[in-house]
């Protein structure tokens, strides 16, 4: 158990440091510290998501009996992944800190003391930090000890929630580098919307459906038939997913309706008589900027 925990403790921070060093020093790249940190943190999150999804698929496919069947990957990957959530709190803080430094430089304001930066970070990323802390302090002991080897199938399905993470990470990188106008951003946004809904929102009703089929009881009777701790845990895990999905929906609505307004503005502009005034130096008219 300790050796697997140690492996995860070395692997995720080590991958982050190696990626950051490569992006900063590789010939032809020479990225800044800020860019290297942000992209490296997203890379590590995507690698963890791919590993978790692969483990989840293997476990769920192998466990025919959803309660009694066991797979060695279940506990092993939980132990391996726990250090990731601790590391990721620090990685998110580093990303936030560098973004704040850029913002302060652009506004020519004084750098904030570290204590103020930490408080600001915790306020801004409160839900994500809380999610990571709960994963380590609550979900980890429940999954490893309280289950007593039961329900590996359900644990594998929960790992599949990470399928949406790579598209979320790519979307954040594209937004960070102002690539919202690209086709890649729109395709990735649609993929993120679909995968997040299926893998993180519909996943929880599916767990109840799978147990109902196993126990031969109606779907609506499942919450009354399982221990209250299962209902509480599912509600605790599902609530932030629904909130984050609502934010993704709002972002997708702005993305696609904004693109439509931009096209309409361009078509109207083409149908209008040409003005004798020269275009603005930056190439955008006020109406164009409103469309964004």
pLDDT per position as a tens digit, 97-142: 988 887 766 666 777 788 888 999 999 999 999 999 999 999 999 9
Distance between CA atoms of 146 and 140, rounded to whole angstroms?
Answer: 9
Closest CA to 143 of 214, 56, 45: 56
Distances (CA, A) of 254 to 70, 187, 291, 292: 45, 14, 10, 9
Q: HEC string of 68-95?
A: CCCCHHHHHHHHHHHHHHHHHHHHHHHH
What per-residue confidence (pLDDT) applies to 261?
Answer: 56
Are 262 and 291 contacting, i.e. CB atoms less than 8 angstroms apart?
Answer: yes
Domain boundaries, the chain: 1-161, 163-257
pTM of the complete model: 0.83
Residue 199 has pLDDT above 50, yes or no: yes
Mean pLDDT of 284-290: 35
- Residue 231 structure tokens: 């209902």
């Amino acid at each position: 158990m300790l050796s697997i925990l140690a492996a995860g403790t070395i692997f995720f921070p080590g991958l982050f440091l190696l990626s950051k060093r490569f992006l900063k020093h590789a010939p032809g790249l020479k990225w800044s510290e800020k860019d290297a940190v942000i992209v490296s943190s997203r890379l590590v999150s995507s690698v963890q998501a791919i590993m978790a999804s692969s483990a989840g698929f293997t476990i769920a496919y192998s466990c025919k009996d959803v309660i009694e069947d066991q797979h060695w990957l279940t506990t092993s990957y939980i132990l391996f992944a726990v250090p990731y959530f601790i590391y990721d709190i620090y990685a998110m803080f580093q990303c936030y800190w560098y973004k704040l430094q850029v913002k302060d430089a652009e506004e020519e304001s004084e750098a904030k003391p570290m204590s103020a930066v930490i408080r600001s970070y915790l306020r801004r990323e409160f839900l994500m930090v809380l999610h990571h802390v709960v994963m380590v302090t609550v979900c980890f002991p429940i999954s490893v000890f309280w289950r007593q080897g039961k329900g590996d199938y359900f644990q594998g399905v929960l790992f599949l929630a990470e399928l949406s993470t790579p598209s979320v990470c790519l979307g954040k990188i594209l937004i960070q580098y102002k690539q919202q106008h690209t086709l890649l951003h729109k395709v990735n946004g649609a993929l993120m919307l679909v995968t997040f809904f299926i893998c993180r929102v519909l996943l929880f009703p599916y767990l109840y459906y799978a147990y109902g089929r196993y126990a031969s009881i109606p779907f609506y009777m499942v919450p009354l038939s399982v221990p209250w701790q299962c209902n509480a845990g599912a509600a605790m895990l599902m609530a932030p997913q629904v909130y984050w999905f609502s934010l993704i929906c709002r972002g997708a609505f702005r993305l696609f309706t904004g693109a439509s307004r931009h096209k309409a503005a361009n078509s109207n502009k083409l149908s209008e008589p040409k003005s004798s005034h020269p275009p603005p130096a930056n190439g955008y008219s006020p109406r164009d900027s409103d469309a964004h």
